[in-house]
Amino acid sequence: VVVVQNASVLELKKALRRHMQLRQARQGGVQHLSWRYIWRTYHLTYNGEKLADDRKKLREYGIRNRDEVSFIKKLRK
């Protein structure tokens, strides 16, 4: 997924959403994913740190070119 150099976490989430929608359309898979459910159930993480603040810049988390972020399931309270 490609985002601008000074993108925020929210912009990364939007780019992930666009990427997955295009991929599903090309492959003919499920057309609709509930992103509300995904963000409520999973955290985006980088090096074990949760990307919790949507307004924070990716640079503040130390994310650079070709870095990998992953989904981790939220724990129940």
pTM: 0.88
Q: What is the pLDDT of residue 9?
A: 96
**Residue 43 CB neighbours (<10 A):** 15
Higher pLDDT, 46 or 29: 46
Q: How many residues does the chain have?
A: 77
Contacts of 30 (CB under 8 A, 6+ apart): 24
- Domain covering 9-73, topology: Ubiquitin-like (UB roll) (3.10.20)
Domains of the chain, by residue range, sit at: 9-73
On average, the pLDDT of the chain sits at 92
**Residues 75/62/14/27 CA torsion (nearest 10 deg):** -80
Residue 28's pLDDT band, with cuts at 50, 70 and 90, is confident
